[in-house]
């Protein structure tokens, strides 16, 4: 079946439909990872987005039940150059096409993803529509695209009840994980270090967290505009004043900065992929990182009274990490838990463990 990708600037790509066969509208973004499409699909940070993979072939190793980063795919649509009809891998349980179809995710293949990526890099991310079938009335979707916006993203992806994940072996620490759209490997990274992880809804109040007997607080990744989450930011102000160790990742990093008085801004086309260079200024070392975000903390809004920028993106010099002054709190914009991506940055979880032990305060 034919399909079209229509961008809000009027650009049209013609391809073929795979996965679910239904109209879908979302924010079109691109990811530069060469592998890890299953982890991308199931990352809640992609809520409301049509994700274009720049690597030309997707689905060649199929899909399994182990590599999911959450209980369902969250992308609105999937855009690829070519999808593999016959995957080959000993862990494969189903094809990418069948997985998308079963979960109601619309896909489009056969388009020039390199051209699409160049358009997004030059003009910035924009709203688009994937239209399966032979419908040629492009103007019919302009009004819908103009009205589209990603709102209330965190409540849409957060859990609605408490979930406890046991530590691997002896319980060394108890960690409260605030679920703004968390990836499963954040949980695994903590439990393998002896942490009992209690996953809490994003709306959990600070007083309930502080009375829960936890040794530390983990703030997860998640989708949407961070500044929209005013109630969460208000609760984080209280948590930051408590003296409890806090580690924020991605959206958690942005929310901490807003709670401390910094500002955030939307990037032209964001950072999405597993190959972004970030320098740890304290270690004077550069790491290759996995990233997925469309917003960043404004560099000049991080004042000396607030804390210090500890990590910077070497592509565009944006803020990638903050250590808060006189507080056992730090955060990073990228994903140290990776999946997909390099495991070079797992040392940050060890730093969080050290904070809960009472070190480096």
Q: Enumerate the active-site residues.
A: 250, 335, 337
Residue 58, strand partner residues:
83
Q: Which residues does residue 289 pair with via DSSP β-bridges, in sequence order?
A: 276
Number of Cβ within 10 Å of residue 200's Cβ equals 23
- The residues with which 108 forms a beta bridge, in sequence order, are 17, 79
By C-alpha distance, which of 325, 323, 310, 246 is closest to 278? 310
Torsion of CA 328, 333, 338, 340, to 10 degrees: 170
Q: Which residue has the tokens 């649509």?
A: 77
Q: In sequence order, what DSSP letters do the residues of 1-15 get, joined into one string?
A: -EEEEEETTS-EEEE
* Cα separation values, 258 from 24, 219, 229, Å: 32, 13, 10
């Amino acid at each position: 079946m034919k399909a079209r990708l229509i961008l809000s600037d009027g650009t049209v790509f013609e391809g073929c439909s795979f996965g679910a066969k239904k109209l879908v509208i979302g924010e079109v973004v691109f990811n530069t990872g060469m592998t890890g499409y299953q982890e991308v699909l199931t990352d809640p940070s992609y809520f409301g987005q049509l994700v274009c993979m720049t690597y030309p072939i997707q689905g060649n190793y199929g899909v399994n039940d182990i590599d999911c980063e959450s209980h369902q795919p969250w992308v609105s649509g999937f855009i690829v150059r070519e999808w593999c009809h016959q995957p080959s891998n000993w862990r494969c349980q189903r094809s990418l096409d069948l997985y998308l179809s079963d979960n109601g995710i619309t896909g489009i293949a056969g388009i020039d993803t390199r051209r699409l990526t160049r358009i997004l890099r030059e003009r910035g991310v924009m709203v688009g529509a994937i239209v399966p079938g032979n419908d040629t009335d492009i103007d019919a979707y302009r009004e819908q695209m103009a009205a589209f916006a990603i709102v209330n993203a965190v409540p849409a992806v957060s859990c609605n009840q408490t979930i406890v994940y046991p530590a691997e072996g002896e319980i060394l620490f108890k960690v409260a994980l605030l679920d703004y759209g968390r990836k499963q490997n954040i949980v695994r990274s903590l439990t393998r270090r002896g942490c009992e992880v209690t996953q809490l809804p994003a709306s959990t109040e600070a007083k309930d967290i502080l009375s829960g007997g936890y040794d530390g607080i983990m703030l997860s990744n998640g989708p949407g505009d961070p500044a929209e989450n005013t109630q969460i930011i208000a609760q984080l102000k209280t948590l930051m004043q408590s003296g409890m160790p806090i580690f924020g990742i991605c959206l958690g990093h942005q929310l901490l900065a807003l709670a401390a008085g910094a500002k955030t801004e939307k990037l032209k086309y964001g950072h999405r992929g597993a190959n972004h260079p970030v320098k740890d200024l304290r270690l004077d070392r550069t790491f290759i990182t996995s990233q997925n975000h469309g917003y960043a903390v404004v560099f000049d809004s991080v004042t000396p009274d607030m804390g210090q920028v500890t990590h910077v993106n070497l592509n565009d010099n944006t803020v990638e990490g903050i250590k808060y002054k006189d507080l056992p709190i730090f955060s990073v914009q990228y994903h140290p838990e990776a999946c997909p991506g390099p495991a070079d940055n797992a040392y940050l979880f060890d730093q969080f463990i050290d904070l809960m032990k009472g070190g480096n305060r």
